[in-house]
Structure 1
Amino acid sequence: MSERFRVVLVDDHAIVRGGVKAMLRGTEFEVVGEAASGDEGIAVVQETTPELVLLDIRMAGGDGFSALVAIKAALPKTVVLMLSTYDNPTYMARAVAGGAAGYLLKGIDHETLLEAMRAVLRGEQLLSTQDLIRSLRVVGESVQAADLIEPLTRREEEVLKLVATGLPNREIAGVLFISEGTVKTHVEHIIGKLGVSDRVQAAVWAARQGLVSEADLPKLSTHHPR
């Protein structure tokens, strides 16, 4: 096996890291670093400059999304695959917006993991915008265009597009150069006008109405949320 690829594992559970290392043993992938938090992961990735990072999302000491943005800013050619327990469409949206090449669920088998890692290193994108929109539509079937109680303002549409990518209020405020409190107010108005119960259903509505498209997500991913 002539070509080798260096990999960093970022997960707060040592047993998960150990399991992935065992799955990669004897393949073209060499684990050159491990980290138990997002912040630690950023440092390890910058030190080892791997071709690929397998990155968990919910960790103490710096979450995976913050680490994703920092890693892609420092090393844009490093490929990042999110590896999560959560089959959550808003998490998938944030992965796309942050520049991840894919979103995998923990518990996948050995061959699926290897195929995914090889695919993203070939330049393939495992989580496309169309996949994201389909996943958002599966979340709920109750949101219809006719349910719009009152028209959204232009600013509310801008906020809704960002909500649909899974960004929290703090990061939306940074993108739009407004206060976090103002974003919170906009989100409350949006949910009320759409007649939905939460942010995820608002994202479903946005996807169905074409507010989130292939043109939107790459543009949003260029914004550094911090």
Structure 2
Amino acid sequence: MIELHTWNTPNGRKISVALEEMDLPYTVKIVNISKKEQFEPSFLAISPNNRIPAIIDSEGPGGAPISVFESGAILLYLGEKTGKFLPADLRARVLVLEWLMWQMGGFGPMPGQVHHFLQQPEGPARDYGVKRYGDETKRLYGVLDRRLAGRDYVASEGEPSVADFAIIGWAWRHERHLVPFDDLPNVAAWYERMMARPGVARGFEVHLGG
């Protein structure tokens, strides 16, 4: 059984989606970040960077429990554990790793800054932050749209990969990023395709707090 320690954020949703798609049994342990529960010693023991999500797998390698923090590392672990949504072939796997790292390094941190600055009091600092990070977020959506031209999924054919699960967690909040899909037809089609998957739908429906 896997314990998912999380909160209702894009990074948290990546993992609930993956767990549902991989048909893994899990329980949710809510970490209320609005109450600073991510700084509790019990959580820091499994996530030393005090960020959600983290997991504890009671049936880890060799049958021994293992904890994993950082959403990208969790996705890779789950893909390795199940043999699902992470190609064994190195050439195909590289594509998945590239787009997973693309999400972790940009398509997450940048829209996250948009979220932050939109919540600040009106003024020059807010305007500067929204424009700076908003422009970069729109650029990243454009990169994604070009990648998805003629493709069903970002890094694999026939079925999504852990990279798609990572990206959908953030694309789910596209309205908060101030990015409509009007001029992103390939992203719009991919988003609809992903959200139509029963496992993805369940991953967004499960209660994660908030």
- Fold in common (TM above 0.5): no
**Shorter-chain TM-score range:** under 0.3
Larger Rg, first or second structure (1 or 2): 1
TM-score if structure 2 supplies the norm length?
0.27
